[in-house]
């Protein structure tokens, strides 16, 4: 059976998923130390009783933790947009090195879609 070419959003999704998988293999919480609440509080690793990976800020601004996979896909999609080699699947750096090269910090608002990337200049 012939396969159809992937649409650009499917390619981005595959690339982001692969980056998250590779990052999680070396560190189950690769965004620790990079995620901050808009109030300035740092997110920490969090886990539910069902072993779901999550990040949580203990500042009181947010009542629920955020899904680790969802925020990691969002961050790596932005990183791939900034560095075309990542979008092509050329993952050569450790996640911490990549984050340090691209960002100073990543601020999360009320939802996973409300993210502010503070880029390194």
Instruction: Dump pLDDT digits (tens) for 62-94.
Output: 888 999 999 999 998 999 898 888 777 776 778
Which one is predicted more confidently, 94 or 27?
Answer: 94
Beta strands in the chain (DSSP E): 35-37, 43-47, 53-57, 66-67, 103-108, 115-119
Which one is predicted more confidently, 87 or 117?
Answer: 117
Spatial contact of 87 and 15, defined as CB atoms under 8 Å apart = yes
Query: pLDDT at residue 48 above 60?
Result: yes
């Amino acid at each position: 059976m012939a396969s159809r070419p992937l649409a650009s959003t499917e390619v981005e999704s595959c690339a982001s998923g692969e980056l998250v998988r590779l990052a999680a293999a070396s560190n189950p919480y690769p965004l620790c130390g990079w995620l901050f609440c808009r109030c300035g509080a740092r997110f920490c690793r969090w886990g539910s009783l069902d072993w779901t990976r999550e990040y949580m800020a203990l500042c009181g601004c947010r009542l629920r933790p955020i899904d680790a996979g969802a925020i990691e896909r969002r961050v790596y999609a932005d990183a791939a947009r900034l560095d075309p080699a990542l979008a092509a699947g050329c993952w050569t750096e450790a996640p911490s090195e990549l984050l340090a090269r691209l960002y100073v910090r990543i601020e999360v608002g009320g939802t996973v879609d409300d993210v502010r990337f503070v880029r390194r200049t």
